Amino acid sequence: MSKTVSKLSVELKNAPRDASLVSGYVNKSLNREETLSVSCIVLADNLGEENQPLKRERQDSRVPVYTYVLNMRGQPLMPTTPQKARKLVKEKKAKVIRRIPFTIQLNYPTGENKQKTKLGNDPGYENGGISIITDEKELFVAELSLRMEVSKKLDKRRMYRQNRRSRLWYRPPRFDYRKKSKPTGWLAPSIRNKLDTQIRLIDFTRTILPITEIIAEIASFDIQKMQKPNIQGIEYQRGTLFGYTVRNYLLEKWGHKCAYCGKTNIPLEIDHIIPISKIPNNRIDNLTIACRPCNLKKGNKLTDECNPKLRKRILEIQKKATKSYKGATFMNIVRWKLIEQLDCQYTYGDRTKYQRTKLGLKKSHVNDAFVIAGGTTQTFSKVYEVKQIRRNNRSLQLNRKGFKPSIRKQRYPYQRNDLVKYNNGLYRVKGTHCKGTRVILYPPNQKKKIKSVSIKKIELKTYGKGLSFN
Decide if pLDDT at 370 tops 90: yes
More confident residue, 4 or 271: 271
Spatial CA neighbour of 226 closest among 329, 305, 318, 82: 329
pLDDT at 175: 63
Per-residue pLDDT tens digits for 384-427: 999 988 876 554 445 555 555 555 556 788 888 888 999 888 89
Higher pLDDT, 176 or 382: 382
Over residues 78-93, mean pLDDT: 95
Residue 41 has pLDDT above 50, yes or no: no
> Is the bond preceding 101 in cis, omega lying within 30 degrees of 0?
yes
Q: In the predicted model, what is the mean pLDDT of the chain?
A: 81
* % residues pLDDT > 70 (the chain): 79
Q: What are the two backbone dihedrals, phi and then psi, of residue 419, each rounded to the nearest 5 degrees?
A: -95, 120
Query: Which of 229-238, 340-349, 439-448 has the least mean pLDDT?
Result: 439-448
- Please state the rounded mean pLDDT for residues 188-193: 92
Examine the pLDDT at 195 and tell me if it is beyond 80: yes
Class of CATH domain 50-221+335-389: alpha beta
The pLDDT score that the predictor gives to residue 400 is: 52
Report the topology of domain 233-320. Answer: DNA Binding (I), subunit A (1.10.30)
User: With bands split at pLDDT 50, 70 and 90, how would you rate the model's confidence at 35?
Assistant: very low
Compute the distance between CA of residue 52 and CA of residue 357 in angstroms, rounded to an integer: 7
Specify which of 28-37, 270-279, 450-459 reaches the highest per-range mean pLDDT.
450-459
Edge-to-edge strands of the sheet including 459-462?
A: 453-454, 438-442, 425-433, 419-422, 459-462
Strands 459-462 and 453-454: unpaired
Looking at the chain, the number of H-run helices and the number of E-run strands are 11, 19
Kindly report which listed range (183-187, 288-292, 362-366, 390-394) carries the lowest average pLDDT score.
390-394
pLDDT of 430 > 90? The answer is no
Average pLDDT over residues 76-105: 94
Lowest mean pLDDT among 40-44, 288-292, 347-351: 40-44
What phi-psi label fits residue 119: left (phi over 0), alpha (psi between -120 and 50 degrees) or beta?
A: beta
**Cα 254–chain centre separation:** 35
Domains of the chain, residue spans: 5-42, 50-221+335-389, 233-320, 408-469
Higher pLDDT, residue 290 or 45: 290
Q: Tell me how crowded residue 464 is: count the other CB atoms within 10 A of its CB.
A: 20
Distances (CA, A) of 326 to 125, 191, 321, 362: 8, 10, 15, 24
Mind listing the pLDDT tens digit for each residue in 307-319? 888 888 888 887 7
Q: Could you say which of 3.40.50, 2.60.40, 2.60.120, 2.30.30 is the CATH number of the domain covering 408-469?
A: 2.30.30
Residue 429, CA distances (Å) to 101, 387, 391, 414 in order: 19, 16, 15, 8
Average pLDDT rounded to a whole number, residues 350-379: 93
- pLDDT value for 348: 93
